[in-house]
Chain A
């Protein structure tokens, strides 16, 4: 029960940092070798070697963050914000060394200018317990509409 509670709190915090645009704090949730991955096709097993919607290590996350914060990031200029809800948190695997794999579901509403978009899908998190709490080794994001045509594109992590 304790682990379930801790993991849930961690996932909620992850989503809250995104919604509050605290990008650096969000990136800091990742382990030094952590990867954020959103496959373009649900059958893909590994981020390396296939086109992906996102496939970023911390270095690339930093680049994305700085781009988003740049005053000439035109696509960010209109009013923009998101709201995540995370639920259905199920710990799939848990090792005595503190490595766990957890699945959950999310729903994200996004406002851009006067338009609202909705995204939903599943998270698969590979977490590692450290002295500072959980760190993300892999955040896999499977969008339900990964293979549909996106109306516009995604600018920031989901």
Chain B
């Protein structure tokens, strides 16, 4: 790794991938989901932290516990469901039964063991679990930065996401999109703040959006208008992309600002549903605070190493590496409680067209990730060039590093700075 280039092996070498699973995904704070997915005691969902299968379970006292999903007897996954409600987790192999807090409740024929070890053979716990404004994070590091220190200035993006809900509450709603791509996990995180690629990768959807019927006037929009507006937005002229703010943090997070405001995309200020939403926000937060909240123009945010989200349409994507060249992405839609139903319809329309399993936008991104992966698996050329804007990055007062322009590759350099720290045990 060098200041303006990265060796292709970090994307293509299985040995480096194994080290990443241990040193990055085995230590960093990873977002696992949202509290609304486990509202009641006994509710749980399963996911992975790098290689480790885990169960995220709501406890009787309201706390959240993260358990390693592996029987302490012979090692089988004890819970194979994606989500559900349970009073215990029972291993299918020999019936070892665990309470939802992980304690070993019983084993069959306990007289077969010379001594009673049930006290020490509970499911292993991930000790560092924390939530920030409803989002559940966990870290397998024995010690280290707490969640807020880890998030750093990127907290402002999560604040923006949650502040927009009139009652300050979000919930995961309507199910999840899951897709796999044949590329390294880093490729997606390096794409979501990239201001140069839309005009090229998304050329086909831009062209068709330009030729589509004009979106309706405010209050008369149809379901498809969000899609048309978003795809046209991808074709903003270069000076507009150049003027966008791109900030990064020491831990590799990054976020994009000034990409659009509500009037430019769907929820136009004159829209009756949006007016009602704004009124509810103002009733809860006051006029000045409502103006402040809606004046925030953050767009995509990357929480390194496993999350990408955006607040305008409340989309959250969680990245799970499967292998050096295989990645699965979970896409969630978040509903603002106490907002008019139309606001979630907008979320749905955006999700279906931009992030969904049959979207017109995502499909070409994935094609490109796969082409990159194929290109990088060959050794004739060794380096990946990440020099756009290099040498001109701006260190800001709040500890962020900003790209000199909105098309800078500062976010990739920031991700690799964090990558190197993790890989070196820092």
List the interface of chain A (C-beta within 8 A of B).
38, 40-41, 44, 48-55, 57, 59-60, 62-64, 66-68, 70-75, 77, 147-155
Residues of B within 8 A of A70 (CB): 203-204, 207-208
- Quick one: which of B206-255 are within 8 Å of A by CB? 207-209, 211-213, 222-224, 227-228
Task: Count how many pairs of residues, one from A and one from B, have CB atoms less than 8 Å apart in the complex.
Answer: 125
CA A60 to CA B222, docked complex, whole Å: 11
> Is B7's beta carbon under 8 Å from chain A?
no
Which of A54, A57, A60, A68 is packed against the most chain B CB atoms within 10 Å? A60
Additional pairs, 5, CB under 8 Å, beyond known A63-B224, A148-B178: A53-B356, A55-B348, A72-B200, A74-B201, A74-B204
Which 8 A-B pairs rank lowest in CB-CB distance, beginning with the nearest? A70-B204, A72-B203, A149-B178, A75-B367, A73-B204, A154-B358, A41-B175, A66-B208
Residues of B within 8 A of A74 (CB): 201, 204, 364, 367-368, 371
Please determine whether B174 and A51 come into contact, CB atoms closer than 8 angstroms: yes
List 23 interface pairs A-B (beta carbons < 8 Å), by A numbering. Answer: A40-B176, A40-B356, A44-B175, A50-B173, A52-B348, A53-B177, A53-B352, A53-B356, A53-B357, A63-B224, A67-B204, A70-B204, A70-B208, A72-B203, A74-B204, A75-B363, A75-B366, A75-B367, A149-B180, A150-B178, A150-B179, A153-B356, A153-B362
Please determine whether A57 and B223 come into contact, CB atoms closer than 8 angstroms: yes
Q: Report the nearest A residue to B351, measured CB to CB.
A: A51
> Is B3's beta carbon under 8 Å from chain A?
no
Q: Which of A52, A59, A63, A151 contacts B352, CB < 8 Å?
A: A52
Given contacts A60-B227, A74-B364, A154-B358, contact A40 B204 (CB under 8 A): no
Please determine whether A152 and B175 come into contact, CB atoms closer than 8 angstroms: no
- Chain B interface, >50% SS class: helix
> Is B328's beta carbon under 8 Å from chain A?
yes
Q: Report B150-193 CB contacts with A as 1/0, cut-off 8 Å.
A: 00000000000000000000000111111111100000000000
Please determine whether A154 and B223 come into contact, CB atoms closer than 8 angstroms: no
List the interface of chain B (C-beta within 8 A of A).
82, 173-182, 200-201, 203-205, 207-209, 211-213, 222-224, 227-228, 328, 333, 341, 344-345, 347-348, 351-353, 356-360, 362-364, 366-368, 370-371
Distance in angstroms from B358 CB to nearest chain A CB is 4
Please determine whether A153 and B358 come into contact, CB atoms closer than 8 angstroms: yes
Residues of B within 8 A of A66 (CB): 207-208, 211
Residues of B within 8 A of A48 (CB): 345
Please determine whether B360 and A63 come into contact, CB atoms closer than 8 angstroms: yes
Please determine whether B366 and A67 come into contact, CB atoms closer than 8 angstroms: no
Distance in angstroms from A41 CB to nearest chain B CB is 4
Given contacts A49-B345, A53-B357, A150-B178, contact A63 B212 (CB under 8 A): yes
CA A67 to CA B362, docked complex, whole Å: 13
